[in-house]
Amino acid sequence: MSTDKGCASIQTQSSRLFGLPSLVSEKARVLVLGRFPSITSLARQQYYAHPQNQFWRILQAIFGSSPREISAISYEERSDWLLEQGLGVWDVYASCARKGRSVPLVIIVPS
């Protein structure tokens, strides 16, 4: 999950960032809402991509049905597995600007 600490609606000279497409299907029973992907997740174009993020491991501990260690399989396989569990992932901000890695999000545009 993102390590950012809060939001502000002030303008900056920062570049606009755009989030990731949602991971949802018609089978989704639970929607995991996030704020906005971390710098690492945006760079890799994967939700919860930072190696220290426990999101995928926690889901595997809860559902226990992944064929292998969840962090060892491809993002596409993890995404398919997540959808098979009836889960979806969606960030509530479609875009924002950010001054640095740990600076709060600014200029937020809701999804």
* Higher pLDDT, residue 99 or 25: 25
Q: Rounded to two decimals, what is the model's pTM?
A: 0.75
Note the pLDDT of residue 66.
63
**Cα 90–chain centre separation:** 7
d(CA 54, CA 77): 17
Instruction: Give the model confidence (pLDDT) of 4-56 as tens digits.
Output: 333 333 333 457 889 999 999 999 999 999 989 988 999 999 999 998 999 99
Domains recognised in the chain with CATH numbers: 7-110 (3.40.470.10)
Helix spans in the chain (H): 39-44, 55-63, 75-84
Binning pLDDT at 50, 70 and 90, where does residue 107 land? low
Average pLDDT over residues 74-91: 94
* Higher pLDDT, residue 76 or 98: 76
d(CA 104, CA 3): 9
d(CA 57, CA 1): 12
Catalytic pick from 2, 38, 53, 85? 53
The token pair that represents 70 in the structure block: 């969840």
Q: Are 97 and 107 in contact (CB under 8 A)?
A: yes
Note the pLDDT of residue 50.
92
* Residue 42 designated active-site: no
8-state DSSP, 23 = B
Note the pLDDT of residue 41.
94
